[in-house]
Structure 1
Amino acid sequence: MSLGLVADSFLALLILGLAVWTIAVRGTYAAVVGFVAYGLLVALIWVRLAAVDVALTEAALGSGLMGLLLLRAVACLPPDAPAPASGRVGRVALRVVVGVLCAGLTAVLAAVVLQLPEPAPSLAAAAAQALPTTGLGNPVTGVLIAYRAIDTLLEAVVLVLALIGLWSLAADGAWGGRPGALRTREPGAALVLLAQLLPPVGILVGIHLFWTGANHPGGAFQGGAVLAAMWAIVLVAGLAAAPRVDGRRLRLVLVVGPALFFAIGLAGIWWADAFLGYPADWAKPLILVIEAALTLSIAAALGLLLAGPPASEPGPGGQA
């Protein structure tokens, strides 16, 4: 038995145990912490499967930003109260049912995968053969921006729609103000120091992930998630205030990525005889322009989703 197989087996057992613990634990806060740790282990599994792009997305979005959203939600809930004796049996039964359903779904998915023909049907060869026409070296970016561009465009639009839905939860008197969910009344010295030292490095990492995504693992979503995380740290430490939600510049940043993506895709009807098509000589520059705009829009949308709906009421003259 090789060392790699031993490590993979240990990782599989660890993630299964953590999944069961996350479902069975009583405390809401503990369950969220278990979910965050579970996401990090899933990212390690994707690395072991040589899917580094997926691992970066899982670590940044699935575990990092989603974990922060859940922690903020837990902070808004009342403290966990001991369940009455009459209701404990029902809670245990519910968890058993959830566990059985999850195990059944896993078994069905495993059966489907194991029954696939050998070799499994795939369009990977066709995508790899056409990849040089895009000028990209990263097949994941090529698939997302060229071959499944409509999906990527809709994902960027969904983020904006989700943010609009979140803002709609604000009270009428607070509309136009600043989100305040991430503000800390008395941030500790360690948090302030971290917020001063980490963002410069994190911003460089986010830009690097965007730029290197054309030829190596990375891309707009990974880079945007890192930039949003750096912004969130600054907001939590109180070093800056979230922008007003009615600012024109803010709204321009939010829509520039999807709008530019759609505009270039629409121009593809004349350039390449297809919607979201790229002319052969300009494919890579246009894709990089789209990725740059998407990185900014994704970072702004994710950061504002974390910041929550407007909370402060506008003062005289519309100032918050």
Structure 2
Amino acid sequence: MTALYLLDLVLVPAILLAACTAVGTRDRFAAVVSFIVYGLLLAIAWVRLGAVDVALAEAAIGAGLTGVLLLGALARMGRRADEAAAAGPPGRTLRLGAAALGAAVAAGIAAAVLALPEPAPQLSGAVAEALPALGLGNPVTGVLLAFRGYDTLLEAVVLLLALLGIWSLAPDPAWGGLPGLRHRARPEGVLAWLGRLLPPVGIVVGLYVFWVGADRPGGAFQAGTILAAVWILAVMSALVEPPAVRSLALRLALVAGPALFLAVGFAGLGLAGAFLGYPAAAGWAKPLILLVEAGLTLSIAATLALLVAGTPERAAG
């Protein structure tokens, strides 16, 4: 029995326990913390399955950034959460209905998975054959930016639409101002110290994850999340103020990724004969993909950071 086998024996029940705690507890804070732990454990599970790209995304977005969003939402609920808790738990009928619906969905997914033929249909062979033409070493990047480019483009647009939805909740007097509340931190405190120490390291790591994503695990979404976390830490440390929503530079950063993606996509109509196609000429595909990835990294970092910051709430000073 190897150490990795023992790790698996501990990891699987730990994931189930964290999931059940996140769903079953009545303490909202405990539920959010359990969800964050669940995401981190899932990231370890993805590493054990050999899907390092998915593990990076799960740890950075599924556990880290989503956890921060949930904690922020919990803090904003404030008294309303206490009033809802005082009203008592939902009725027995509602709980049984929710349990039955969840069980039905789980059974349907299990039936669909078990009905797959053996071996399961896959396109990994076709991807491996076409990957050298793109000049990429990471098949995940090839799928996301070339073979499944439509989905990735729409994901970037959906993130931007989510941010616009949050901004639309801002009160009229605060529109165009600074997002979120003003943060304060003691200059000699731990938070301010971390805010000065970690951002330079985080920026280097984020840029590295972006650059190696073409050939190794990494890419725009993982790098963008790391850079967003760096910015969030700097804001929480009261070292910088978030930019005003009306800032032209901010808006250009938000649309840079989708705009570059669309521009390369339309260029593909003339160069490759298909929307989001890449020219067959040797050496052209990889630079274009890196250009799109650079724009997406910037836009994803700005969008995720502003999603955490929330609605404009104060006038720009």
- Report the TM range for the smaller structure's normalisation: over 0.9
Whole-Å separation in 2 of the counterparts to 1:77 and 1:110: 36
Cα drift, residue 127 of structure 1: 1.2
Call closer, same or farther: CA 1:193–1:57 in 2, change over 3 Å.
same
Q: Is the 8 A contact 2:185 2:192 kept in 1?
A: no
- DSSP-derived class of the 1:40 partner: helix
Whole-Å separation in 1 of the counterparts to 2:84 and 2:306: 35
Match in the other structure for 2:286: 284
Give runs of ≥4 in structure 1 deviating > 6 Å: none
Cα drift, residue 89 of structure 1: 6.8
User: How large is the Cα RMSD of the aligned pairs?
Assistant: 1.9
Structure 1 stretch 74-83 or stretch 16-25: which is displaced more? Answer: 74-83
- Structure 2: unaligned runs, 5 residues or longer: none
The equivalences for 1:19-34 within 5 A come to: 19-34=19-34
Report whether the alignment pairs 1:175 with 2:169: no
Match in the other structure for 1:313: 315
Match in the other structure for 1:303: 305
Cα drift, residue 99 of structure 1: 4.5
Call closer, same or farther: CA 1:82–1:313 in 2, change over 3 Å.
closer
Call closer, same or farther: CA 1:107–1:295 in 2, change over 3 Å.
same
Q: Is the 8 A contact 1:257 1:290 kept in 2?
A: yes
Match in the other structure for 1:269: 269
- Structure 1: unaligned runs, 5 residues or longer: 315-319
Match in the other structure for 1:294: 296
Q: Is the 8 A contact 1:23 1:95 kept in 2?
A: no
TM-score by length of 2: 0.92
Cα drift, residue 7 of structure 1: 2.1
Cα deviation, 1:70-112, whole Å, max 9, x if unaligned, reads 101111112536956x84472x665555445434433432332
Whole-Å separation in 2 of the counterparts to 1:214 and 1:102: 39
Cα drift, residue 58 of structure 1: 0.8
Match in the other structure for 2:242: 242
Call closer, same or farther: CA 1:94–1:193 in 2, change over 3 Å.
farther
Report whether the alignment pairs 1:209 with 2:209: yes
TM-score by length of 1: 0.92
Whole-Å separation in 1 of the counterparts to 2:102 and 2:154: 29
Whole-Å separation in 1 of the counterparts to 2:166 and 2:31: 24
Whole-Å separation in 1 of the counterparts to 2:34 and 2:59: 14
Cα drift, residue 115 of structure 1: 2.9
The equivalences for 1:1-320 within 5 A come to: 2-79=2-79, 80=82, 83=85, 87-88=88-89, 90=91, 94-95=94-95, 97-181=97-181, 183-187=182-186, 189-280=189-280, 281=282, 282-314=284-316, 320=317
Whole-Å separation in 1 of the counterparts to 2:252 and 2:21: 44
